[in-house]
Amino acid sequence: MTDREFQKFMIEKMAELSENVNSLQQNVNSIQQDVNGLHQDVNSLQQDVNSLQQDVNGLHQDVNSLRQVVTRIEINHGEKLSALFDGYEVIKETLDDHTHRLERIEAKLETHEIQIKVLDSTKANKRTAK
């Protein structure tokens, strides 16, 4: 190989190397852009996760608030049901007392009716005897 051929060969190889370096540089730039895009995506995902965490915290607060409301309703309704049951018991006792009194009055009424019939028949017998 002559000096000229060697020079030409080296220039070609240097040109190839330069092209390869340029290609590698473009690939590195492309990879760097991809990495930057990934960083942006990760940042966006972190924001989404933070937003979701805030939403979940809000939901936890809502659930706790609902639990308190449900507990208060259960207590209030329990007290009201107890009062209604007590009222029912009082009404039942009063009704039983009235029923017992009515039965006594009916028994007395029957006795009085019998006595009136006896008195009427005695009175009628005295009139016919005169």
DSSP string, the chain: --HHHHHHHHHHHHHHHHHHHHHHHHHHHHHHHHHHHHHHHHHHHHHHHHHHHHHHHHHHHHHHHHHHHHHHHHHHHHHHHHHHHHHHHHHHHHHHHHHHHHHHHHHHHHHHHHHHHHHHHHHHHHHHH-
Q: For residue 130, what pLDDT band results from cuts at 50, 70 and 90?
A: low
Q: How far apart are CA 78 and CA 70, in angstroms?
A: 12
**pTM metric for this prediction:** 0.51
Query: Over the stretch 12-55, which tens digit does the pLDDT of each residue have?
Result: 999 999 999 999 999 999 999 999 999 999 999 999 999 999 99
